[in-house]
Chain A
Amino acid sequence: MSSEDFEPEIIAFLCNWCSYAGADLAGVSREQYPPNALNIKVMCSSRVSPEHVFESFHEGADAVLISGCHPGDCHYIDGNYKTMRKAELMKKMLDDFGINPQRLRLEWVSSAEGGKFAKVMEEFTEEIKELGPLDLNGTSLEGENDE
């Protein structure tokens, strides 16, 4: 596939209070951005676990976005700080799996930042287009099975 007609599949986890609201505001402001990402709402970004991210890649996502409230703004006090730590860890793990950690992106988008949400979508899609499709190359991302 040439990078021209490669349309990345992106899973975007958005927290209910800020980022999902920011995405709503992008709509109200009629921002335009590429339709590549499919949004999954969670109450707080801290809900997103490594399994969700790895499953996304395993199922064919070329990239994953986790977006929450700005540090200090989390509706659940400090959920986004936990997200920050988890994201670091996940990036390391991706690197170990041979997946470019750039394919996982963490963003803070507030409910007033419709423009920023659109810009993130735009940039991220572009960036992944350049990286090309994710080739898992037989890497198994499935979590360990429960005994």
Chain B
Amino acid sequence: MKKMKKDVLVIGGGITGVQSALDLADKGYEVVIVDKKPSIGGNMVKLDKTFPTDDCSICISAPKMVETSRHENIELLTYSEVEDMSGSVGGFNVDVWRRTKYVDPSECTGCGDCADSCPVEVPNEFDEELSTRKAIYVEYPQSVPLTYTIDYENCVGCGACERVCDAESIHFLERSEQIKLNVGSIIIATGFEMMEPDEWREEYGYDQYDDVVTALEYERLLSSSGPTEGNILKPSDGKAPEKVAWIQCVGSRCKQKGMPYCSRVCCMYATKEASITKGDDPDIEPYVHYMDLRAYGKDFQQYYEKAQEKGVKYRRGRPSRVYKTEDDKLAVEYEDTEKGEVKTNKVDMVVLSSAIVPSKGNEKLAEILGIEVDEHGFFESKDILTAPMESTRDGIYLAGCSQSPKDIPDSVAQASGAAAKALQPLKGRKRKGKPEKPEERDITEEEPRIGVFICHCGKNIANYLDVEKVMESIKDIPEVRYVSDPTFACSEDAQAEFKDAVEEHRLNRFVVAACSPRTHAELFKDTLEEIGLNRYLLEMANIRNQCSWVHSDDPEKATEKAKRLTKMAVSKAKRLAALKEHEIEVGDKTVIIGGGPAGMQTALSMADAGQEVTLIERDDKLGGKLNRLNTLFPSDIDAGELARNMSHRIEDQDNITVKTSTEVQEVEGYVGNYELTLSDGEVIESDTIVLTTGFKEIDPDDFYNYEGDDRIMTQMELDEALEKDSLEDPENVVFINCVGSMEEERPWCCRVGCGNSLKNAKAIKERYPDSNVYILYKDMRVFGKNEEEYYADVQEQNGVIFLRYSTEDKPQVSEKGDKIHIKVHDNLLDDDVEIDSDYLVLAMQLEGDPSASELQKMLKLSSNPSGFFMEAHAKLRPLEFPSEGVYLAGGAHYPKNIADTLSQADGAASKAEVPMMRGYTKSVGMIAAIDDDRCSGCKMCISVCPYGAIDFNEEDEVAEITDVLCKGCGSCASVCPSNAITQKGFDDDQISAMIRSALTDEVV
């Protein structure tokens, strides 16, 4: 039995759990991640691409996984499960059962020889069982940790793997073990599962027909590392389909046949899959059968439009069944709600967008932890709107899909938010500081003395090329003072050999010709550092992944190539210099701009963690839109009360300075060094800045006779009227949704309009039970926790009438006596409806606050045409900007409901606190440097730098780099016409040496 004392336990190692862990570990807290799978990565790594940017999923998630596994403050317990828990907040005792993999992770090199030798084939879960794997396996090629696992159930015990494993890492006698953890707080990030379509929707033929697949199966078919290498082929016969149909809401939005809730992501992933399909193979005709197309998020609507332009066809109406026709096609039978007739769509393949359901283990885990799950099995929040990330027990927090379905950016925002919450029980704990490093030997005056290791990688290299000859080819180079060919360069023995060789030969640079630097360079760099050499004095030649493995059919040529690759590496190594990672101090002062709910929550969160906060608000009081709203969707809580409550808590905090009626006029500086000039003339210093500037309704004057008519109001004005109770007992009230939205000029969806109409319609119905309330809508986009249920209630209980109109045929508004006359063509009835109404409510399109564009210029950020800031990465960095030091949350990012706003606010707090709590931030080593004497002041570099890291020094007329902001892409170096910029570690001399060496077959 092993014992471990850590600060935080994260249960679940998908993208959400990983993000929570990284946020905490970066602040110096010790985190342990428990995942029941052999590898972390969760569901995201299975996806081909991600909407709405079509980012390659594994490309963006793999670096995070690697970072997690290498983090000095993170311990990974994979293939493990939580068994028992006692104690309470601040001191939970958790028992974890770690199943044995029968493979020693410290010895396994991940070469895969074992799997090659294994005679057992079993269905591969990672490929949704569309392919097979062996009984000894890694889940996917980029698995973290890259340790093979013997799956005990399927292993026949033949011992073949053990015999071929050169690293001797397989131990059949290794036992599973119990680990006793002691932690201060717990984050649950157990993710989701997809509903088995047959459970509720047998009529779609998932079990009957091979070519009816789930969306996740389809995702594997799209993936270039999946079972069909990215070719879309029918499982039945391996041929390409001509027509593919997606069926939406399979098990979602239907109490009787599945779950009542909306799964929130299916409309978009189906759109993505369909549009990628069309892009990959223009001959395929994709159809999406949907009910409401919920393209609610940032850039979703535009993505949906683009899919239609590409040729994806959308058919409204929930299909009733799928059956096989005589000509062997799959017929999707559906009612065309726009025409009211039953139709069939004959296709070759059907993809079921099945519901996101809670992970199976949730209930058991809830029992162990003593917390609640909701009626579906998602973990229950303390309050779904105001405390979404708090479980029903202190010290246990929720993130991502464990709480309710959500997409990746909403999940990672919550992951960071939960990380901020998890700090509360850790107050007073000592955090790990900067790791101590051995003193570094100064080698500037030394001639290059290079040690070269040519790795056999067991047989993975040595079997396919002649290691001896590679050694021969460089051993007489004068700078090469030591050559060795370890069986495994990454083994402990070899690390010791590095050390001895340095002592004996005073080596000052290393070349390791082995596997890939992407997986192993950090290990060798750590070794260098331990020996007292700068970690950048290493160059790797990739003679395995990019040579022996891919030219195994021609050992002679492979050997020749390996020689050249090694010579190229030696040529570069001769020119390597010690590089410095520049550090700057980051203190504990932050400025939050915008005092709405996002700003208030960020302030509270950061103040609670001990930061000095200045909260700046343009109005004369805090609260932002909460001051104008009546209630909040979907739980009808009082908005004003929430604002007052938060304001009081802010007043009670000593370390928050509130500056109302104040605006920011000027910002100078960068992370750790900001200087803000305020409208009252005061200048304040700050280490970080959080932007929570919110959103606003667009000008309603040009829409639906708004101007000059008091009975026509915007949603916000109606909220105010409801709050003041100033409506006069109406007979009829009409809401029009999507006013100014999703049209050419403003193509985006406002995300919150539908929900606002629903809750206000309900409020009117409750206040004036005899009134008739109509909602004129395009697609009903309610998607969050409890929202679909609310919508169903408003329809059924409150009797609100819903009429669906189209962009082409918008409602007509005219004056009729003392009423407002509204004529609308209802798509569902295919008939005109005319209403004489007392009030008309416009759900206006929303845009970024105008102050955003000023701030954007001051801080060198970007925003999109809708006036919302552009985050660093749409999927994985929604709360950050490309350069460190500035963060965002809430409506400044995009309109969102209060639960998502508060999650983001806590998340942004967590992000800003990373450099603040660490006390410093540092640059990478391979940053760019400018030679003043050569710089002509042309400013080309300034225009290409994506991080705003280069400024112009007007006095000397030269460009200047702020080291800590440079991320080392090298694009400035490649455009400088005066050759004044070098990218360290990738400078022209080094690149040129590699080119010459490659082409002359010499070390140059």
- Asked if A and B bind, the verdict is yes
- Produce 1/0 per residue, B961-1004, CB < 8 A to A: 00000011111011100010001001010011011101110000
Residue B669 at the chain A interface, CB threshold 8 Å: no
Size category, B interface: 35 or more
Considering only CB atoms, which chain A residue lies closest to B551 in the complex? Answer: A35
User: Shortest beta-carbon distance, B915 to chain A, in Å?
Assistant: 20
Among A42, A46, A61, max chain B CB count under 10 A is at A46
Q: Which has the most chain A C-beta neighbours within 10 Å: B60, B230, B999?
A: B999
Is B445 interfacial (CB-CB < 8 Å)?
no
Q: A47-B974, A76-B946 are in contact. Are A29 and B56 (CB under 8 A)?
A: no
Does residue B822 face the partner (Cβ distance < 8 Å to A)?
A: no
Is the beta-carbon distance between A40 and B568 smaller than 8 angstroms?
yes
CA distance A44 to B946 in the complex (A): 12
Assign chain A's interface to a size class.
35 or more
B63 contacts which chain A residues (CB < 8 A)?
17, 75
- Name which residue of chain A comes closest to B994, CB basis: A40
Asked if A49 and B59 sit within 8 Å, CB to CB, the answer is no
Q: For A32, what are the chain B residues with a Cβ–Cβ distance below 8 Å?
A: 550-553
Chain A residue at smallest Cβ distance from B61: A111
**Within 8 Å of chain B (Cβ to Cβ): is A59?**
yes
The answer, yes or no, to whether A92 is at the interface (CB within 8 Å) is no
Judge if B583 is at the interface, Cβ distance under 8 Å. Answer: no
In the complex, what distance in Å separates the CA atom of A79 from the CA atom of B946?
8
List the B side residues contacting A75 at CB < 8 Å.
63, 969
Beta-carbon contact of A18 and B542 below 8 Å? no
B56:A110 contact, CB within 8 angstroms: yes
Contact of A51 among B54, B230, B968, B988 (CB under 8 A): B988
Docked Cα-Cα span, A9 to B1000, in Å, equals 10
Q: How far, in angstroms, from A112 to B564 measured CA to CA in the complex?
A: 27
Q: B225 contacts A42, CB within 8 Å?
A: no
Query: Are A21 and B974 CB-contacts (below 8 A) given A28-B141, A30-B549, A73-B59?
Result: no
- Let me know if A30 and B552 touch, CB within 8 A: yes
B residues 535-557 with Cβ under 8 Å of A? 542, 544-547, 549-554, 557
Contact assessment for B554 and A56 in the assembled complex, using a CB-CB cutoff below 8 Å? no
Q: Is B926 an interface residue (CB 8 A)?
A: yes
Contact B546 A24 (CB under 8 A): yes
Q: Are B224 and A47 in contact (CB under 8 A)?
A: no
Chain B residues positioned under 8 Å from A39 (CB to CB):
542, 546, 565
Residues A35 and B995 in contact, CB atoms below 8 Å apart? no
Per-residue B-contact encoding for A44-84, CB less than 8 Å = 1, 0 else? 10111101100110011100000001101101111100100
Q: Are B550 and A9 in contact (CB under 8 A)?
A: no
Q: Tell me if B561 is interfacial: C-beta within 8 Å of chain A.
A: yes
Q: Tell me if B516 is interfacial: C-beta within 8 Å of chain A.
A: yes
> Of B517, B561, B882, which is within 8 A of A77 by CB?
B882
Within B21-50, which residues are at the interface with A (CB < 8 Å)? 48
Complex: chain A residue closest to B976, CB-CB: A49
Residues in A with CB closer than 8 Å to B223 are 112
B112 on the A face (CB < 8 A): yes
Can you name the residue of chain A whose Cβ is closest to the Cβ of B979?
A146
Inter-chain contacts of A18 with B (CB < 8 A): 56, 59
User: What is the bound-complex CA distance between A101 and B692, given in angstroms?
Assistant: 49
Inter-chain CA distance A111–B441, complex, in Å, is 36
> A residues within 8 A CB of B1000?
59-60
Q: Find out whether the CB atom of A115 lies under 8 angstroms from the CB atom of B230.
A: yes
> A43 to B969, Cβ gap below 8 A?
yes
**A residues in contact with B926, CB < 8 Å:** 43
Asked if A11 contacts B518 (CB within 8 A), the reply is no
B549 neighbours in A (Cβ, 8 Å): 27-28, 30
Nearest CB in chain B: distance from A84 CB, A: 12
Cα(A59)–Cα(B554), bound, Å: 26
Looking at A31, A110, A115, which has the most chain B CB atoms within 10 Å of its CB? A110
Chain B residues with CB under 8 Å of A55's CB are 992, 995-996
Contact between chains at B59 and A48 (CB < 8 Å): no
Contact status A48-B550, CB under 8 Å: no
- Checking A38, A69, A113 against B224 with a beta-carbon cut-off of 8 angstroms, the contacting residue is A113
- A146 CB, min distance to chain B CBs, angstroms: 7
Does B944 have its Cβ within 8 Å of any Cβ on chain A? yes
Closest residue on chain A to residue B57 by CB atoms: A112
Known: A59-B995, A115-B230. A35 touches B55 (CB 8 A): no
A25 in contact (CB, < 8 A): yes
Nearest B residue (CB) for A146: B979
Q: Are A114 and B518 neighbours in the complex by a CB distance under 8 Å?
A: no
Asked if B999 and A60 make an inter-chain contact with CB atoms under 8 angstroms apart, the answer reads yes
Cross-chain contact B229 with A59 (CB below 8 angstroms): no
> Contact: A11 with B995, CB < 8 Å?
yes
Whole-angstrom distance from the CB of B551 to the nearest CB of chain A?
5
Any chain A CB within 8 A of the CB of B558?
yes
Find A47's partner among B58, B229, B565, B973 (CB 8 Å cutoff).
B973
B988 contact set on A, CB distance < 8 A: 49, 51-52
Proximity string of chain A (110-125) to chain B, C-beta cutoff 8 Å, 1 when within and 0 when not: 1111111010000000
Contacts of B554 in A (CB 8 A): 35
B229's contact among A43, A86, A115, by CB below 8 Å, is which? A115
- The reply to whether A41 and B517 contact each other, CB–CB distance below 8 Å, is yes
CB-CB < 8 A to A59: which residues of B? 995-996, 999-1000
User: Residue B55 contacts which of A24, A41, A48, A72 (CB distance < 8 angstroms)?
Assistant: A72
Within 8 A of B (CB), among A1-44: 9, 11, 16-18, 20-21, 23-33, 35, 38-44
| 17 A–B pairs (Cβ distance < 8 Å), ordered by A | A30-B550, A33-B551, A39-B542, A43-B969, A46-B944, A46-B970, A47-B983, A49-B974, A60-B999, A60-B1000, A69-B56, A72-B53, A73-B55, A76-B967, A76-B971, A112-B224, A113-B56
Residues of B within 8 A of A (CB): 48, 53-60, 62-63, 112, 141-142, 223-225, 229-230, 516-519, 542, 544-547, 549-554, 557-558, 560-561, 564-565, 568, 872, 882, 926, 944, 946, 967-971, 973-975, 979, 983, 986, 988, 991-992, 994-996, 998-1000
